[in-house]
């Protein structure tokens, strides 16, 4: 039976399902695993759900490295605007590893970030920058069901 759920709940359910299905999925970000009572920490442990310092470049760089050795990282950035801070990792590393290794290494990462919701925070925190990234795949949905379907880490044959 269909049910109505908020967008963010659909995303979190999809991440949870992927983590239950595949032990190689890891989830981290600046606001993850802030306590031992965090539901994701309780369900999957601190080895798979980790907090990060406030360094988007480091977060995405860690994701690229983790993906290169077989993990499937989901990185939660607070807002899409912060992807710009780590643009080198996104464009020169994540999107090109497949090509730099002649197809031998894939980098299946998910960058989860909110956009357009921060009314009153500042003009820098209300943009959607996804269209700037050539060579990467993206998912964007209009309802929570579509959002949930798109959230699993990319397992397609497409290298990006």
Report d(CA 159, CA 116) in Å as an integer. 29
pLDDT of residue 158: 46
Which residues of the chain, if any, have pLDDT below 70? 1, 115-160
pLDDT of residue 13: 92
According to CATH, the topology of domain 7-150 is Rossmann fold (3.40.50)
Instruction: Give the pTM.
Output: 0.76
Tell me 85's DSSP state. G
For 93, the token pair is 């590393």
pLDDT of residue 129: 60
pLDDT of residue 159: 45
Task: Give domain limits for the chain.
Answer: 7-150
């Amino acid at each position: 039976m269909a049910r109505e759920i908020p967008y963010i709940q659909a995303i979190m359910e999809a991440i949870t399902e992927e983590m239950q299905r595949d032990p190689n999925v890891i989830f981290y970000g600046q606001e993850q695993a802030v306590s031992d009572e965090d539901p994701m920490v309780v369900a999957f442990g601190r080895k798979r759900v980790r907090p990060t310092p406030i360094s988007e470049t480091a977060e995405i760089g860690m994701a690229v490295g983790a993906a290169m050795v077989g993990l499937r990282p989901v990185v939660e950035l607070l807002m899409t605007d912060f992807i710009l801070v780590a643009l080198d990792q996104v464009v020169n590393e994540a999107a090109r590893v497949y090509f730099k290794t002649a197809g031998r290494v894939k980098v299946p990462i998910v960058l989860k970030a909110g956009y357009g919701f921060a009314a009153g925070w500042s003009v820098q925190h209300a943009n959607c920058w996804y269209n700037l990234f050539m060579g990467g795949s993206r998912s964007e949905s209009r309802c929570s069901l579509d959002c949930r379907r798109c959230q699993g880490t990319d397992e397609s044959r497409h290298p990006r």
